[in-house]
Amino acid sequence: MHFKQKSSDAGNTVDNYRHRGLRVKLANELRRKGIHDEKVLRAISIIPRHFMLDKAFEEWAYKDMAFPIEANQTISMPYTVALQSQLLEVKRGEKILEIGTGSGYQAAILHALGAKVYTIERQRLLFERTNKLFEMMNLHAIRVLYGDGFTGAARFAPFDKIVVTAGSATFPDNLFDQLKIGGIMVIPLGRQDQKMMRYFKITDKSKRLEDYGSCAFVPMLAGKV
Ligand code: SAH
């Protein structure tokens, strides 16, 4: 994949060998931290994370750190994005719904893994900004929706996988209804102490869950702003 932005006022426009080198280093760091899905690591080495940050913060783009973006939100740590992507066990052509578009980084990684990505953002400012960024990056296949992720995207359901990238205090049943039988939902769950959870939808009435330990996301909030 080759990324070249047509033009941009605030963002980064160039992806060069130095950035690519930093991405390979980042992928190696994530491998050392326990990410073992080579397809995920390859996606990390492809997607220009510095496009998602303001030019002034370019140096921070390939450190394994979360970073503030607009509207008081954050771009998740690369490790967290890699972990959520790994837990989703993405296969080419799968339909995946992401809640919390934010910077667009997680959505771009899922796209690089061959998924058909739908992503919902509740903040108009971020929705518009990321939509524009995807246009500039030629990522037209990613469907960015403006709305409340708690209600999901019924008109595109059912999904093979769902990933929530904001911390939900309660289990979002409506969203789980939009998952296929046999599907996977990865979600940070909890109020103060969030846990990364993976749910397998066994039947319409039963699910199996796995706990992947503590994490810290911005809260999943109802309604649009
Ligand atoms: N996936 C993003 C992470 C962004 S942080 C990335 O890769 O950068 C979480 C995002 O979830 C924020 O942008 C926040 O506005 C959004 N969010 C929170 N609650 C939401 C909801 N109910 N529906 C949709 N988006 C939500």
pLDDT digits 0-9 by tens, 116-126: 999 999 999 99
pLDDT band at 3 (very low <50, low <70, confident <90, very high): low
Quickly count: other Cβ atoms within 10 Å of residue 78's Cβ.
26
pLDDT at residue 1 greater than cutoff 90 = no
Gap between the Cα atoms of 77 and 196, Å rounded: 14
17: CA distance to ligand 1 center in Å? 31
Do the beta carbons of residue 193 and residue 210 sit within 8 Å? no
Could you please state the CATH topology (level 3) that the domain comprising 69-215 is classified under.
Answer: Rossmann fold (3.40.50)
Binding site membership of 165 for ligand 1 (Cβ less than 6 Å)? yes
Binding site membership of 122 for ligand 1 (Cβ less than 6 Å)? yes
Gap between the Cα atoms of 95 and 82, Å rounded: 18
pLDDT digits 0-9 by tens, 47-102: 999 999 988 888 899 999 999 888 889 999 999 999 999 999 999 999 999 999 99
pLDDT digits 0-9 by tens, 17-42: 999 999 999 999 999 999 999 999 99
The residue contributing the CA closest to ligand 1 atom 16 is 100
Q: Look at the pTM and tell me if it is higher than 0.75.
A: yes
Residue 82 gets the label, from left (phi > 0), alpha (psi -120 to 50) or beta, of alpha
Question: Two tokens at 14?
Answer: 């160039």
Binding site membership of 84 for ligand 1 (Cβ less than 6 Å)? no
Q: Are strands 95-99 and 179-189 parallel, antiparallel or unpaired?
A: unpaired
Percentage of the chain lying above the pLDDT 90 cut: 88
SS3 assignment for 141-181: CCEEEECCHHHCCHHHCCEEEEEECCEECCCCHHHHHCEEE
Q: Which long-range contacts (CB under 8 A, 24 or more apart) does 128-135 make?
A: 129/70, 130/101, 130/102, 130/103, 130/104, 133/11, 133/51, 133/52, 133/104, 134/104, 134/107, 134/108
The residue contributing the CA closest to ligand 1 atom 2 is 102
Do the beta carbons of residue 145 and residue 153 sit within 8 Å? yes
pLDDT band at 11 (very low <50, low <70, confident <90, very high): low
Element (H, E) at 217: none
Residue of 76, 85, 103, 168 with catalytic role: 76
16 backbone dihedrals φ, ψ, rounded to 5°? -115, -175
Gap between the Cα atoms of 121 and 142, Å rounded: 13
Which of 65, 99, 127 gets mutated to test ligand 1 (max ligand atoms within 8 A of its CB)? 99
Question: Two tokens at 187?
Answer: 């979600």
Binding site membership of 80 for ligand 1 (Cβ less than 6 Å)? no
Do the beta carbons of residue 35 and residue 86 sit within 8 Å? yes
Break the chain into its structural domains and give their ranges.
Answer: 69-215
Active site residue 7: no
Binding site membership of 218 for ligand 1 (Cβ less than 6 Å)? yes
101: CA distance to ligand 1 center in Å? 5
Binding site membership of 105 for ligand 1 (Cβ less than 6 Å)? yes
Q: CA-based Rg of the chain, rounded to a whole angstrom?
A: 16
Which of 122, 125, 189 gets mutated to test ligand 1 (max ligand atoms within 8 A of its CB)? 122
